[in-house]
Amino acid sequence: MIGNPRMIRLRFMSALLSGLAMAFCVITLTLVGCQHPIKALVGGKMDLGGKMGVDGDIRMTGEVATTTRSDNTATPIRAVVIDGNRHAGGRIAIVDVDGLLVNRTFSGLNSMGENPVALFREKMRQIECDGSISAVVLRINTPGGGVTASDMIANDVARLKQCRDIPVVACLMTTGCGGGYYIATHADHIVAHPTSVVGGIGVILNSYNMEDTLAQQNIVSVPVKAGDKIDLGSPERTMDDDERDILQAMADQFHERFIEQVRRSRGSKLPADAMRAQADLIAADELRFKDEDENTADEEEDAPHEIFDGRVWTGSQALAHGLVDSNGYLDDAIDIAGRLASLPVDSPVVLLRRSNDRAMSEFDITPNMPMSSLLPVSIPGLDRSMMPTFLYLWQPEPKFVTAGG
């Protein structure tokens, strides 16, 4: 049966128009897509559960921009080539040791928020696993820090040398004192700038007596304690003599540990009389409990050698006293490390950095400055709970007392 000719023509025209419309859409999308491609980039994993429906038009306008993360979780440590032939064999890694050394995460304005001890360990592990790194330069610029934090970093240096058996050269920059010099003594060679400040072989425990200050504010400490010495060193009261002796004995032990490390590392490079410093310390400790008037001359005779009394020296003086091996600059330290590792003169030099770390030259420092308070003042003793305890630290400024907070 033949249908109505009018209906047939209408259906034919409708199909023809639909086909033309679809063809027009395809051609338009093709042309537009070629001129303005749409890209979608998805990183990581994406899981979608359930039903998803879209009803109506979807329009996207504006720009999508990426920003660098300001925290230290951007990426793990990676080696960044900053000098030399990128395609050469063995590489020399510069590992920076900057600022106050405490086992605590720093925080402050424009800070990476890193723990210097944890960051150093991560860099050491990277070098242990990276066979292309054939030598290490420790770029040290610090007045020191906590006894334990300094010892942990120094132990990581010793562990690296035992694990990889590669040369380690320490370069003392502006300051290489206290814990910084303690770490340097674990290197195979120590270079100091002629103008560096070196030494600070001593121990200090920051302790304050805030009893009168608290009394002026009608604040009286009423501790409930079990164990008579549990509040040893508290700033809320005057320290007893026997309590001071306890802390002094601890400081002496940490000092002797520092001296023994210097003697073991520097050996015959030290003056002959400095080699007797350990016995002198023991003698001085015994004389401390005798009558001061009767033994003044003996104490002066048995006093520790001046190298170990906590004072600091210029880089040139440190060389004369055997505390460093040579005077020079960071470039000289890199050359020495390369020679010790038998590397070509154009061997690549790398820094160990995160992707968000903008320090990308030999002298750049990772932004990691501590901030103890938003207030511009710091009252010693009030924030004692945030302070390091015993310190291998040359401390010319009171701000180092609370910088670890």
Residue 107's domain is classified under what CATH number?
3.90.226.10
Examine the pLDDT at 14 and tell me if it is beyond 80: no
Is residue 134 in some structural domain? yes
Residue range 181-240, pLDDT digits in tens:
999 999 999 999 999 999 999 999 988 788 788 788 888 888 898 998 888 888 888 889
pTM: 0.73
Is residue 213 in some structural domain? yes
At residue 177, the 3 state secondary structure works out as: strand
Is residue 344 in some structural domain? yes
Is residue 68 in some structural domain? no
Among 107-121, 163-177, 310-324, 335-349, the minimum mean pLDDT is found in 107-121
Q: Which H or E run includes 174?
A: strand 168-177
Is residue 106 in some structural domain? yes
Is residue 52 in some structural domain? no
Residue range 255-268, pLDDT digits in tens:
999 999 999 999 88
Is residue 294 in some structural domain? no
- For the chain, give the mean pLDDT: 79
Q: Could you give the CA distance from residue 195 to residue 176 in angstroms, rounded to a whole number?
A: 11
DSSP annotation of 191 reads E
Q: What are phi and psi of 384, to 5 degrees?
A: -60, -30
Strands across the sheet containing 144-146:
144-146, 390-393, 204-205
Residue 60, pLDDT score:
60
Residue range 113-144, pLDDT digits in tens:
788 999 999 999 999 999 999 999 999 999 99
Structural domains of the chain, count: 1
Q: Kindly state the tokens that stand for 225.
A: 């304690």
Model confidence band, residue 37 (pLDDT cutoffs 50, 70, 90):
very low
The average pLDDT across 88-107 equals: 88
Examine the pLDDT at 247 and tell me if it is beyond 50: yes
Q: What is the C-alpha end-to-end distance of the chain, expressed in Å? A: 96
Residue 235, pLDDT score:
80
- Please, what's the b/e burial string for 184-211 (b: 16 or more CB within 10 A of its CB; e: otherwise)? bbbbbbbbbbeebbbbbbbbbbbbbebb
Which residues touch 194 (CB under 8 Å, ≥6 apart)? 314, 315, 316, 327
Residue 40, pLDDT score:
41
Is residue 377 in some structural domain? yes
The average pLDDT across 338-354 equals: 93
Examine the pLDDT at 165 and tell me if it is beyond 50: yes
- Please indicate whether residue 357 or residue 130 has the higher confidence score (pLDDT): 130
Domain residue limits at 139: 78-222+231-269+310-401
Residue 46, pLDDT score:
46
